[in-house]
Amino acid sequence: MAEFSAAIIGAGPAGLAAALTLSRALQATIVFDSPRSPRNSASPGFGGLLGRELASAKDLHAIGREEIDRYGFVRFHAGDAVQVEGNFNHGFTIVASDGMTATAGCILLACGMVDLFPEIRRLADFWGTSVINCPFCHGFELRERPWGVVVNRAEMLEVAEIYLQWTDDLILFVEAGLNVPPGREAKLASKGVRIDRRGIRRLLGDGSELHAVGMEDGAVIERQALVLWPFQSQTGLIKAMGVPLNDAGCVIVDDGFRTQSPGIYAAGDLIYSGHQNVNTAIHMGAMAASAMVLDLST
């Protein structure tokens, strides 16, 4: 059985940033690098990523692995972690999907979330290119086109004006059952924002380029960009571990990214349902690793 100071479950931006920080702190670390495609693999590149502007998920992963490998403190295991047992006092045992077992003094959960997409035909064809969830990451490439926003949460109505930075032709597709206060609707209308309460049934376009949305009543509306925030769920491992979650379904952490289970830390999308992006994940991973080194040394 392989023994390590730390284990990282997940090799996305948060996990890799943590692995790099742990390497520079001379900590023997194992990273469980899932062979499954990451959630952001559909995106051709991440905008706003300083030093790696518009790098793809594949390229960023390869660059991160190369930088980490130079130090020689991290072992990457190509497999999912499927079971975690133990505690901070006696150490943790992590079992991989292929049966490999490792022990570690502490664990960082950086395995992201599971996206729950609505039943809209051909959504997968456009996801990550002309159907996006972050305008700061991808809005520039879609600027000055007709946009739509799938409004499936009340908080999306509160920030709807932000999309006018990228387009002056904006429709909010408000899902059934979601109330739009009359005063709010009037304010949006005064800025040229339209509201459509018919549900979207299908998307139309060529390749990955969206041309229009097809509504439940058969109408077709020209749109060349669509914003969608899918609901999310924790992975099966996180559910099985029973790590405490908040009301939004995110893992609860303190300022050092410690969960409420001693010796277990979390970083990345699984702790924050708001502004999920690569920059934020990298920051959280690095800070979580710093807390891990501190706690291991005391």
Number of C-beta neighbours around residue 140 at 10 A: 13
Mean confidence (pLDDT) of the chain: 95
For the chain, report the end-to-end CA distance as a whole number of angstroms. Answer: 25
| Structure confidence by residue, pLDDT tens digits, 108-162 | 999 999 999 999 999 999 999 999 999 999 999 999 999 999 999 999 999 999 9
- CATH numeric code, 2-115+231-297: 3.50.50.60
Output Rg (C-alpha) for the chain, integer angstroms: 21
- pLDDT over 80 (residue 180): yes
Q: How confident is the model at residue 252, as a pLDDT?
A: 98
Domain 118-228, architecture per CATH = 3-Layer(bba) Sandwich (3.50)
Those residues with Cβ within 8 angstroms of residue 216's Cβ, 6 or more apart along the chain or in another chain: 198, 199, 200, 201
Q: What distance in Å separates the CA atoms of residue 239 and residue 170, rounded to the nearest whole number?
A: 38
One-letter amino acid of 230? P
Q: Where are the domains of the chain?
A: 2-115+231-297, 118-228
Q: How confident is the model at residue 188, as a pLDDT?
A: 97
Q: How confident is the model at residue 90, as a pLDDT?
A: 86
Q: How confident is the model at residue 205, as a pLDDT?
A: 97
The vertex-238 CA angle with 31 and 93, nearest 5°, equals: 50
What average pLDDT does the segment 227-255 reach?
Answer: 96
Tell me whether the CATH fold assigned to 2-115+231-297 matches the one assigned to 118-228: yes
Structure tokens, 86: 């133990």
